[in-house]
Amino acid sequence: MKTKFILPLLSLSILTVFSGCDKELDSSEVIDVDTELTGATKFVISATPIGTSGIADYLLTANSLESGMITTQGNGIEQDGSYRYYLTHKNRFFSLLYGQGNPGAVTSYRLDGAGKLTKLTNFQSETVQLFAPIKDDVLTIKVPRSGNEFATMFRIDARKYQIVGEQQVNIVKLAGNGERAHFTWATQVGDKLFAPYMSIKGAAPDAFGTAYPDSSWVAVYTYPELKLEKIIRDNRTSYIGAYFTDGLVETDNGDAYAFSFAAATNGGIPTSKNPSAVIRINKGTTEFDKNYFFNVQEISGGYHIAGQTYLGKGIFILQMYPQPNSLAGTARKFAVVDVISKSFKWVTGIPADITRTTTINNYSPKDGKTGYIGITTASEGSYVYVFDAEIAAAKKGLKVEGGTITAINALQY
């Protein structure tokens, strides 16, 4: 069976207009201020129900990811549409509808004092390709892959659910090489917005192909002004992250580590000659550190990075393509890396018949040790796997019956 990974499609709906509450809510039900918390945590598991249509996911809650079972049968909060993606920021959970080219809803939730997931409001939405938490906002970017040369950045207040800033970016001018810059994600680094991008042709029949497979770029913007400050460049690996996949993380000490999958293509054929690697931007600087280079492809025996989950203290769980010197395969491998010491260990306890993994919505308490990733197998269904970085091992935790895990988030109440 061919593996399916939780990677978003070519667009995503997210809010751009806030015109009040959804009709089923009255204003007294909308919570837009922070409330006192008890210190308890509950986990929100998004799962696509098996054998249904017209339902993207059910939102299920659990007190622990370590063990137990939850089910989609007669349980959870239904999320309509074909696809949904999720973001947690300012202790609010955002459910983002992929509108398939049409406006769609973004639904916001919080936990009440008893730990019950409660809907706050719905928003009408714009089609965007990127969403990320930045300071007090949810930043979204609408990035056209062809035609229109302007991307649009939106600042949405995460507590008030309304646009508080907007900026246009000429992505052809930003690329400066005859192609167009296509942002892969965005990260708050210090008090600035760092937005890695890939260079793409932006024209059929090879819109995402490029003639520049072996360079990295990060656009640096002031925040909240969203004014371009500079472009950080490097030629030791390929672009940072991947389409709709986060590849830049600010660690505890303020340094930012950039993960390149070396997965650029031209005409559908992988063309990156530089290795899949990690490079670094030191705290307080806007340049790549020329003295730091972590060649993950070499130390792993030829494998490419396919995703990352930050555990804290410079420790990451990497998802790797399952075959050396290839960007294809039937099941991902996992590794623990310390980007500071440049150590690498394969993770044991991973099942052999993986059909799906979660990528952009995994959870860690940021203790430098523990991570939680959804893994679905052909033989046993969906489990939250508990990763122990200290021993480079994973084991089955919470089981999700009747559905395929698409996201793992946490809220406090």
Residues in the chain: 413
In a domain, 192, yes or no: yes
E strand intervals along 173-246:
180-183, 187-189, 192-200, 216-221, 228-234
Q: Which two tokens stand for residue 20?
A: 């009040």
Tell me whether residue 27 is in a domain.
no
> Three-class SS of residue 412?
strand
Q: What CATH number corresponds to the domain at position 297?
A: 2.130.10.10
- Does 29 reside within a domain? no
State the pLDDT at residue 140.
Answer: 87
The pLDDT score that the predictor gives to residue 33 is 65
Query: Is residue 3 scored above 80 in pLDDT?
Result: no
pLDDT at 218: 98
Residue 224 · residue 137 · CB < 8 Å: yes
Instruction: Tally the C-alpha atoms within 13 A of residue 63's C-alpha that lie toward its C-beta.
Output: 5
Domain assignment present for residue 31? The answer is no
State the total domains in the chain: 1
The DSSP code for 359 is -
Q: Using one digit for the tens of pLDDT, what is the confidence trace for 46-55?
A: 999 988 777 8
Task: Supply 228's token pair.
Answer: 């371009």
Instruction: State in Å, rounded, how far the first CA of the chain is from the last one.
Output: 41
* Cα 250 from Cα 240, distance rounded (Å): 14
pLDDT score at 39: 87
pLDDT at 6: 44
What integer pLDDT is reported at residue 229 of this predicted model? 98
* Mean model confidence pLDDT for the chain: 90
Domain extent, residue 284, equals: 12-22+36-412
Q: Are 400 and 68 in contact (CB under 8 A)?
A: no
Q: Confirm whether 403 is domain-assigned.
A: yes
pLDDT of 107 reads 86
Q: What is the pLDDT of residues 109-124, one digit of tens each?
A: 999 999 999 999 887 7
Alpha-carbon gap, residue 280 to 247, rounded angstroms: 11
Q: Please check whether residue 4 lies inside any domain of the structure.
A: no
pLDDT at residue 101, as a whole number: 60
Position 102 scores a pLDDT of 65
* Weakest-pLDDT range from 48-52, 199-203, 303-307, 327-331: 327-331
Tell me what pLDDT residue 24 has: 37
Specify the pLDDT at position 317.
98
Residue 10 has pLDDT above 50, yes or no: no
Question: For residue 178, which of 204, 152, 200, 154 has the smallest C-alpha distance?
Answer: 200
**1 pLDDT above the threshold of 50:** no
- Determine, yes or no, domain membership for 223: yes
Q: How confident is the model at residue 330 (pLDDT cuts 50, 70, 90)?
A: low
Q: Band of the pLDDT at 28, cuts 50, 70, 90?
A: very low
pLDDT value at 178 more than 80: yes
Q: Is residue 1 part of a domain?
A: no
